[in-house]
Amino acid sequence: MTPEMMSVKSRILNPPKVVYGASKIMQPRDGSWNMKDVKVVEASTVKSWGVLVTSGQRDLPRVQGKHISASNNTYLTHHTIKDYMRAMIQEGTNLGMKLPDARPPIQFYTGGPILDALKTLYTECQKIYGVKPDVLIVVYDDNDHGNLYNQTKYVAECKIGYIILH
């Protein structure tokens, strides 16, 4: 063993190009792709979806480090979540996704077993759309520190059969 690091030949690879709908080719910039004004080649169809907000109506969660409030108030409201979902629907539609006409049901988690909250949301989605949900969106607050996230991940993946992405 020597204290010097091993020297190896290497090269820098160009980032991959992504081909969107209408053969629009995008090259990443600073590690990300700008998806503004593009459609995907094969868009998904979401037939049923719902939203579970774990922060209650008093805490304001962040999405990618930014408050998702439409105003400067410090409370997350049903209206704020509806605005966020409206923006998601608009962006999905712009990408070419097919989404249900009805807005997704939004539930605020008030405590108790997370399995019960997810089952209630699942059932409500089935009632509204007539099919099991394709997507369940869970909004966490900054103070969770992974506790509720870990419970939700376990219940969703092991008890209900949904994959959790973050």
pLDDT in tens, 5-59: 999 999 988 888 888 887 888 888 887 877 777 888 888 899 999 998 887 554 4
Q: Which of 111, 49, 48, 105 is nearest to 81 (CA)?
A: 105
For residues 89 and 84, give the distance between their C-alpha atoms in angstroms, rounded to a whole number.
9
Strands 106-108 and 49-53 come out as: parallel
In the Cβ-directed half-sphere of 14, how many Cα atoms lie within 13 Å? 5
Global pTM reads 0.70
Q: pLDDT digit string (tens) for 64-74?
A: 444 444 444 44
Q: Where are the domains of the chain?
A: 13-42, 45-160
